[in-house]
Amino acid sequence: MTTPSKVALVVGAQGVIGRNLADHLASLDDWQVIGLSRRGGASSGRVSHVAVDLLDAADAQEKLSTLTHVTHVFYAAYQDRPSWAELVPPNLAMLVNVVDAIEPVAKDLQHISLMQGYKVYGGHLGPFKTPARETDAAFMPPEFMHDQQRFLEQRQQGATWSWSAIRPAVVGGFALGNPMNLALAIAVYASMSKQLGLPLRFPGKPGAYDRLLEMTDAGLLARATVWAATEPACANQAFNITNGDLFRWNEMWPAIARYFDMEVAPPLPLSLDSVMANKESLWRTMIERHGLTEHAYAEVSSWRFADFVFSWDYDMFGDGSKARRFGFHEHIETQAMFTRLFDDFRRRKIIP
Protein backbone atom coordinates (compact mmCIF):
# COMPACT_ATOMS: atom_id res chain seq x y z
CA MET A 1 0.00 0.00 0.00
CA THR A 2 1.19 3.51 -0.80
CA THR A 3 2.46 5.53 2.13
CA PRO A 4 0.13 8.54 2.53
CA SER A 5 1.76 11.69 1.22
CA LYS A 6 -1.09 14.04 2.17
CA VAL A 7 -2.73 14.54 5.55
CA ALA A 8 -6.29 15.83 5.68
CA LEU A 9 -7.77 17.55 8.70
CA VAL A 10 -11.54 17.18 8.30
CA VAL A 11 -13.25 19.68 10.57
CA GLY A 12 -16.82 18.63 11.34
CA ALA A 13 -16.12 14.97 10.63
CA GLN A 14 -19.39 13.64 12.09
CA GLY A 15 -21.74 15.69 9.90
CA VAL A 16 -23.28 14.63 6.59
CA ILE A 17 -20.59 16.41 4.59
CA GLY A 18 -17.60 15.71 6.82
CA ARG A 19 -18.38 12.03 7.33
CA ASN A 20 -18.66 11.36 3.60
CA LEU A 21 -15.56 13.43 2.89
CA ALA A 22 -13.52 11.49 5.45
CA ASP A 23 -14.75 8.18 4.01
CA HIS A 24 -13.77 9.24 0.49
CA LEU A 25 -10.31 10.42 1.55
CA ALA A 26 -9.75 7.17 3.44
CA SER A 27 -10.42 5.25 0.22
CA LEU A 28 -7.51 7.03 -1.50
CA ASP A 29 -4.07 5.51 -0.97
CA ASP A 30 -2.21 8.80 -0.69
CA TRP A 31 -4.24 10.33 2.16
CA GLN A 32 -4.19 10.08 5.93
CA VAL A 33 -7.28 11.50 7.64
CA ILE A 34 -7.74 13.24 10.99
CA GLY A 35 -11.34 13.99 11.90
CA LEU A 36 -12.30 16.80 14.28
CA SER A 37 -15.67 16.95 16.03
CA ARG A 38 -17.13 17.68 19.43
CA ARG A 39 -17.87 14.03 20.17
CA GLY A 40 -14.88 12.46 18.44
CA GLY A 41 -15.08 9.00 16.93
CA ALA A 42 -13.47 5.56 16.68
CA SER A 43 -10.12 5.60 14.90
CA SER A 44 -9.56 2.94 12.24
CA GLY A 45 -6.86 2.35 9.64
CA ARG A 46 -5.68 5.66 8.22
CA VAL A 47 -8.49 7.59 9.92
CA SER A 48 -8.08 8.99 13.43
CA HIS A 49 -10.43 11.23 15.38
CA VAL A 50 -9.91 14.08 17.82
CA ALA A 51 -12.65 15.39 20.12
CA VAL A 52 -12.36 19.15 20.47
CA ASP A 53 -14.49 22.16 21.34
CA LEU A 54 -13.65 24.55 18.53
CA LEU A 55 -15.47 27.39 20.25
CA ASP A 56 -12.81 27.16 22.96
CA ALA A 57 -9.61 28.66 21.53
CA ALA A 58 -7.50 27.14 24.30
CA ASP A 59 -8.90 23.65 23.69
CA ALA A 60 -8.31 24.03 19.96
CA GLN A 61 -4.70 25.11 20.55
CA GLU A 62 -4.09 22.19 22.90
CA LYS A 63 -5.70 19.48 20.74
CA LEU A 64 -4.33 20.72 17.39
CA SER A 65 -0.80 21.71 18.44
CA THR A 66 0.60 18.25 17.66
CA LEU A 67 -0.90 18.04 14.16
CA THR A 68 2.26 19.30 12.51
CA HIS A 69 1.96 16.98 9.51
CA VAL A 70 -1.39 18.33 8.22
CA THR A 71 -1.22 19.35 4.55
CA HIS A 72 -4.89 20.08 3.82
CA VAL A 73 -7.67 21.46 6.00
CA PHE A 74 -11.23 20.63 4.96
CA TYR A 75 -13.53 22.85 6.99
CA ALA A 76 -17.14 21.60 7.18
CA ALA A 77 -18.10 22.45 10.77
CA TYR A 78 -21.31 24.27 11.62
CA GLN A 79 -23.00 25.57 14.77
CA ASP A 80 -26.73 26.19 14.54
CA ARG A 81 -28.34 29.21 16.17
CA PRO A 82 -31.92 30.63 16.21
CA SER A 83 -31.24 33.66 13.97
CA TRP A 84 -28.97 34.55 11.06
CA ALA A 85 -27.17 37.22 13.10
CA GLU A 86 -26.47 34.77 15.93
CA LEU A 87 -24.84 32.36 13.47
CA VAL A 88 -21.94 34.72 12.79
CA PRO A 89 -19.88 34.76 16.02
CA PRO A 90 -19.66 30.97 16.66
CA ASN A 91 -19.16 29.93 13.04
CA LEU A 92 -16.50 32.53 12.37
CA ALA A 93 -14.78 31.80 15.71
CA MET A 94 -14.49 28.07 15.01
CA LEU A 95 -12.77 28.66 11.66
CA VAL A 96 -10.44 31.28 13.15
CA ASN A 97 -9.54 28.96 16.04
CA VAL A 98 -8.70 26.12 13.63
CA VAL A 99 -6.50 28.28 11.42
CA ASP A 100 -4.84 29.98 14.39
CA ALA A 101 -3.94 26.58 15.82
CA ILE A 102 -2.90 24.79 12.62
CA GLU A 103 -1.14 27.40 10.50
CA PRO A 104 1.81 28.00 12.86
CA VAL A 105 2.58 24.29 13.38
CA ALA A 106 1.73 22.70 10.01
CA LYS A 107 4.75 23.81 8.02
CA ASP A 108 3.67 21.88 4.91
CA LEU A 109 0.14 23.27 4.84
CA GLN A 110 -0.97 23.49 1.21
CA HIS A 111 -4.68 24.24 1.18
CA ILE A 112 -7.71 25.21 3.26
CA SER A 113 -11.07 24.18 1.83
CA LEU A 114 -14.13 26.04 3.12
CA MET A 115 -17.57 24.43 2.84
CA GLN A 116 -20.27 26.98 2.12
CA GLY A 117 -23.71 26.82 0.49
CA TYR A 118 -26.39 28.93 -1.14
CA LYS A 119 -26.59 31.19 1.91
CA VAL A 120 -23.71 32.95 0.15
CA TYR A 121 -26.26 34.08 -2.44
CA GLY A 122 -29.02 34.92 0.04
CA GLY A 123 -31.00 31.81 -0.82
CA HIS A 124 -32.17 31.52 2.80
CA LEU A 125 -33.60 35.05 2.82
CA GLY A 126 -36.11 34.82 0.00
CA PRO A 127 -36.30 34.92 -3.80
CA PHE A 128 -32.86 35.57 -5.27
CA LYS A 129 -31.24 35.68 -8.69
CA THR A 130 -31.10 32.28 -10.33
CA PRO A 131 -29.05 30.63 -11.54
CA ALA A 132 -26.70 31.84 -8.81
CA ARG A 133 -23.10 32.27 -9.96
CA GLU A 134 -19.85 32.43 -8.05
CA THR A 135 -19.33 36.00 -9.27
CA ASP A 136 -22.64 37.28 -7.82
CA ALA A 137 -22.32 40.27 -5.50
CA ALA A 138 -22.52 39.91 -1.74
CA PHE A 139 -25.48 41.32 0.18
CA MET A 140 -25.97 43.31 3.36
CA PRO A 141 -24.58 41.46 6.41
CA PRO A 142 -24.88 39.55 8.68
CA GLU A 143 -23.84 36.37 6.85
CA PHE A 144 -21.19 34.13 8.41
CA MET A 145 -20.16 32.51 5.12
CA HIS A 146 -19.10 35.89 3.77
CA ASP A 147 -17.13 36.55 6.96
CA GLN A 148 -15.44 33.15 6.82
CA GLN A 149 -14.36 33.58 3.19
CA ARG A 150 -13.15 37.13 3.83
CA PHE A 151 -11.08 35.84 6.75
CA LEU A 152 -9.41 33.19 4.57
CA GLU A 153 -8.78 35.65 1.74
CA GLN A 154 -7.06 38.06 4.11
CA ARG A 155 -5.15 35.34 5.99
CA GLN A 156 -3.89 33.82 2.74
CA GLN A 157 -2.14 37.00 1.63
CA GLY A 158 1.59 36.24 1.56
CA ALA A 159 1.06 32.61 2.63
CA THR A 160 2.21 29.53 0.73
CA TRP A 161 -1.17 27.78 1.06
CA SER A 162 -4.27 28.42 -1.04
CA TRP A 163 -7.99 28.23 -0.30
CA SER A 164 -11.15 27.12 -2.07
CA ALA A 165 -14.83 27.70 -1.28
CA ILE A 166 -17.25 24.89 -2.12
CA ARG A 167 -20.93 25.76 -2.53
CA PRO A 168 -23.29 22.77 -2.64
CA ALA A 169 -27.06 22.83 -2.79
CA VAL A 170 -28.97 20.81 -0.15
CA VAL A 171 -26.71 17.84 0.57
CA GLY A 172 -27.97 14.26 0.55
CA GLY A 173 -25.99 11.74 2.58
CA PHE A 174 -25.86 9.61 5.72
CA ALA A 175 -25.27 11.00 9.21
CA LEU A 176 -27.17 10.78 12.48
CA GLY A 177 -27.75 13.57 14.95
CA ASN A 178 -27.25 16.17 12.23
CA PRO A 179 -29.52 19.24 12.10
CA MET A 180 -29.44 19.42 8.28
CA ASN A 181 -30.29 15.99 6.86
CA LEU A 182 -33.19 16.33 4.43
CA ALA A 183 -33.10 12.78 3.02
CA LEU A 184 -33.30 11.22 6.49
CA ALA A 185 -36.09 13.61 7.50
CA ILE A 186 -38.10 12.60 4.43
CA ALA A 187 -37.45 8.90 5.06
CA VAL A 188 -38.56 9.09 8.70
CA TYR A 189 -41.58 11.27 7.86
CA ALA A 190 -42.65 8.82 5.14
CA SER A 191 -42.11 5.79 7.39
CA MET A 192 -44.13 7.34 10.21
CA SER A 193 -46.91 8.37 7.84
CA LYS A 194 -47.08 4.80 6.55
CA GLN A 195 -47.07 3.43 10.10
CA LEU A 196 -50.11 5.62 10.84
CA GLY A 197 -51.88 4.52 7.65
CA LEU A 198 -51.59 7.96 6.09
CA PRO A 199 -50.71 8.89 2.50
CA LEU A 200 -47.50 10.79 1.86
CA ARG A 201 -48.42 14.46 1.91
CA PHE A 202 -46.01 17.25 0.94
CA PRO A 203 -45.90 19.51 4.02
CA GLY A 204 -44.35 22.63 2.48
CA LYS A 205 -45.55 26.14 1.77
CA PRO A 206 -48.08 26.74 -1.01
CA GLY A 207 -46.05 27.21 -4.16
CA ALA A 208 -42.99 25.29 -2.96
CA TYR A 209 -44.30 22.09 -4.57
CA ASP A 210 -43.90 23.59 -8.05
CA ARG A 211 -40.58 25.45 -7.81
CA LEU A 212 -37.26 24.41 -9.31
CA LEU A 213 -34.49 23.26 -7.03
CA GLU A 214 -31.47 20.99 -6.97
CA MET A 215 -29.45 18.87 -4.54
CA THR A 216 -25.89 17.68 -4.09
CA ASP A 217 -24.99 14.07 -3.38
CA ALA A 218 -22.55 13.86 -0.45
CA GLY A 219 -20.28 11.41 -2.29
CA LEU A 220 -20.11 13.61 -5.37
CA LEU A 221 -19.48 16.61 -3.12
CA ALA A 222 -16.59 14.81 -1.42
CA ARG A 223 -14.94 14.03 -4.74
CA ALA A 224 -15.39 17.59 -5.96
CA THR A 225 -14.02 19.02 -2.72
CA VAL A 226 -10.84 16.97 -2.95
CA TRP A 227 -10.51 17.84 -6.63
CA ALA A 228 -10.70 21.57 -5.91
CA ALA A 229 -8.21 21.24 -3.05
CA THR A 230 -5.60 19.47 -5.17
CA GLU A 231 -6.03 21.00 -8.63
CA PRO A 232 -3.64 23.99 -8.91
CA ALA A 233 -5.98 25.87 -11.27
CA CYS A 234 -8.64 25.89 -8.52
CA ALA A 235 -6.52 27.81 -6.03
CA ASN A 236 -8.34 30.73 -4.39
CA GLN A 237 -11.59 30.03 -6.25
CA ALA A 238 -15.21 29.33 -5.34
CA PHE A 239 -17.28 26.60 -7.01
CA ASN A 240 -20.95 25.66 -7.06
CA ILE A 241 -21.15 21.86 -6.80
CA THR A 242 -24.48 20.18 -7.60
CA ASN A 243 -25.85 16.91 -8.96
CA GLY A 244 -26.33 18.53 -12.35
CA ASP A 245 -30.09 18.18 -12.68
CA LEU A 246 -33.07 20.28 -11.57
CA PHE A 247 -36.35 18.96 -10.19
CA ARG A 248 -39.68 20.02 -8.76
CA TRP A 249 -41.27 18.37 -5.74
CA ASN A 250 -44.45 17.86 -7.79
CA GLU A 251 -42.53 15.17 -9.73
CA MET A 252 -40.08 14.00 -7.04
CA TRP A 253 -42.66 13.58 -4.26
CA PRO A 254 -44.76 10.96 -6.10
CA ALA A 255 -41.53 9.10 -6.95
CA ILE A 256 -40.60 9.07 -3.25
CA ALA A 257 -44.10 7.82 -2.39
CA ARG A 258 -43.71 4.98 -4.90
CA TYR A 259 -40.45 3.97 -3.23
CA PHE A 260 -42.27 3.61 0.09
CA ASP A 261 -45.30 1.98 -1.60
CA MET A 262 -47.57 4.82 -0.50
CA GLU A 263 -50.33 6.91 -1.97
CA VAL A 264 -49.88 10.67 -2.40
CA ALA A 265 -52.34 13.18 -0.97
CA PRO A 266 -52.54 16.86 -1.97
CA PRO A 267 -49.98 19.16 -0.33
CA LEU A 268 -50.91 20.69 3.01
CA PRO A 269 -48.73 23.22 4.87
CA LEU A 270 -47.51 21.56 8.06
CA SER A 271 -44.81 22.60 10.48
CA LEU A 272 -42.92 19.32 10.88
CA ASP A 273 -41.04 20.84 13.79
CA SER A 274 -44.42 21.09 15.54
CA VAL A 275 -46.41 18.07 14.36
CA MET A 276 -43.49 15.62 14.71
CA ALA A 277 -42.48 16.86 18.15
CA ASN A 278 -44.72 14.36 19.97
CA LYS A 279 -43.84 11.31 17.86
CA GLU A 280 -41.14 9.77 20.07
CA SER A 281 -43.49 7.07 21.34
CA LEU A 282 -44.41 6.22 17.74
CA TRP A 283 -40.70 5.99 16.94
CA ARG A 284 -40.19 3.58 19.87
CA THR A 285 -43.09 1.47 18.61
CA MET A 286 -41.56 1.31 15.14
CA ILE A 287 -38.17 0.26 16.51
CA GLU A 288 -39.75 -2.63 18.40
CA ARG A 289 -42.18 -3.68 15.68
CA HIS A 290 -39.69 -3.62 12.80
CA GLY A 291 -36.49 -4.55 14.62
CA LEU A 292 -34.82 -1.23 13.85
CA THR A 293 -31.44 -0.24 15.23
CA GLU A 294 -31.70 1.58 18.53
CA HIS A 295 -31.39 5.27 17.72
CA ALA A 296 -32.85 8.05 19.82
CA TYR A 297 -35.64 9.98 18.12
CA ALA A 298 -33.53 13.15 18.33
CA GLU A 299 -30.81 11.45 16.24
CA VAL A 300 -33.13 10.98 13.27
CA SER A 301 -35.06 14.27 13.56
CA SER A 302 -34.12 17.15 11.26
CA TRP A 303 -37.58 18.68 11.22
CA ARG A 304 -36.57 22.33 11.48
CA PHE A 305 -34.29 21.98 8.47
CA ALA A 306 -36.92 20.09 6.48
CA ASP A 307 -39.40 22.89 7.20
CA PHE A 308 -36.81 25.37 5.95
CA VAL A 309 -36.29 23.54 2.65
CA PHE A 310 -40.01 22.94 2.14
CA SER A 311 -40.66 26.66 2.65
CA TRP A 312 -38.88 27.63 -0.56
CA ASP A 313 -41.73 28.91 -2.68
CA TYR A 314 -39.15 30.32 -5.07
CA ASP A 315 -36.54 28.75 -7.37
CA MET A 316 -33.37 27.56 -5.63
CA PHE A 317 -30.54 26.64 -7.98
CA GLY A 318 -27.10 27.73 -9.10
CA ASP A 319 -24.94 27.62 -12.19
CA GLY A 320 -22.58 24.64 -11.93
CA SER A 321 -20.71 25.30 -15.17
CA LYS A 322 -17.63 26.86 -13.59
CA ALA A 323 -16.59 23.54 -12.03
CA ARG A 324 -17.03 21.85 -15.41
CA ARG A 325 -14.93 24.51 -17.12
CA PHE A 326 -12.18 23.89 -14.57
CA GLY A 327 -12.33 20.12 -15.12
CA PHE A 328 -14.87 18.48 -12.76
CA HIS A 329 -17.52 16.68 -14.83
CA GLU A 330 -19.23 14.23 -12.47
CA HIS A 331 -23.00 14.24 -12.11
CA ILE A 332 -25.75 12.11 -10.59
CA GLU A 333 -29.53 11.92 -11.05
CA THR A 334 -31.20 13.23 -7.91
CA GLN A 335 -33.99 10.65 -7.89
CA ALA A 336 -31.34 7.90 -8.05
CA MET A 337 -29.57 9.59 -5.14
CA PHE A 338 -32.74 9.48 -3.02
CA THR A 339 -33.29 5.81 -3.88
CA ARG A 340 -29.73 4.91 -2.94
CA LEU A 341 -29.95 6.81 0.35
CA PHE A 342 -33.29 5.24 1.30
CA ASP A 343 -31.85 1.80 0.49
CA ASP A 344 -28.89 2.63 2.73
CA PHE A 345 -31.15 3.71 5.60
CA ARG A 346 -32.98 0.40 5.29
CA ARG A 347 -29.75 -1.60 5.23
CA ARG A 348 -28.69 0.16 8.40
CA LYS A 349 -32.16 -0.60 9.87
CA ILE A 350 -32.82 3.07 10.54
CA ILE A 351 -36.20 2.87 8.76
CA PRO A 352 -38.41 -0.17 8.06
**Is residue 249 pLDDT above 60, yes or no?**
yes
The reply to whether 154 and 192 lie within a common domain is: no
**Is residue 1 pLDDT above 70, yes or no?**
no
**Is residue 322 pLDDT above 60, yes or no?**
yes
CATH number, domain of 112, equals: 3.40.50.720
Number of domains in the chain: 2
The reply to whether 124 and 138 lie within a common domain is: yes
**Is residue 72 pLDDT above 80, yes or no?**
yes
Q: For the full predicted model, state whether its pTM sits above 0.85.
A: yes
pLDDT digits 0-9 by tens, 282-296: 999 999 999 999 999
pLDDT digits 0-9 by tens, 176-216: 877 789 999 999 999 999 999 999 999 999 999 999 999 99
The reply to whether 194 and 112 lie within a common domain is: no
The reply to whether 102 and 200 lie within a common domain is: no
Q: Say if 277 falls within a structural domain.
A: yes
pLDDT digits 0-9 by tens, 294-316: 999 999 999 999 999 999 999 99
Report pLDDT for 2: 59
Rounded to the nearest angstrom, the gap between the alpha carbon of residue 100 and the centroid of all alpha carbons in its chain is: 24
The reply to whether 233 and 256 lie within a common domain is: no
The reply to whether 203 and 290 lie within a common domain is: yes
Asked if residues 134 and 239 have their Cβ atoms less than 8 Å apart, the reply is yes
The reply to whether 309 and 337 lie within a common domain is: yes
Domain hosting 30: range is 6-170+217-241
Q: Say if 136 falls within a structural domain.
A: yes
Query: pLDDT-based confidence at 131, cuts 50/70/90?
Result: very high
The reply to whether 94 and 183 lie within a common domain is: no
The reply to whether 227 and 295 lie within a common domain is: no
Asked if residues 108 and 71 have their Cβ atoms less than 8 Å apart, the reply is yes
> Sign (positive/negative) of CA torsion 100, 89, 80, 213?
negative
pLDDT digits 0-9 by tens, 133-168: 999 999 999 999 999 999 999 999 999 999 999 999
Report pLDDT for 234: 98
Q: Say if 322 falls within a structural domain.
A: no
The reply to whether 14 and 153 lie within a common domain is: yes
Q: Say if 325 falls within a structural domain.
A: no
The reply to whether 147 and 196 lie within a common domain is: no
Q: Say if 138 falls within a structural domain.
A: yes
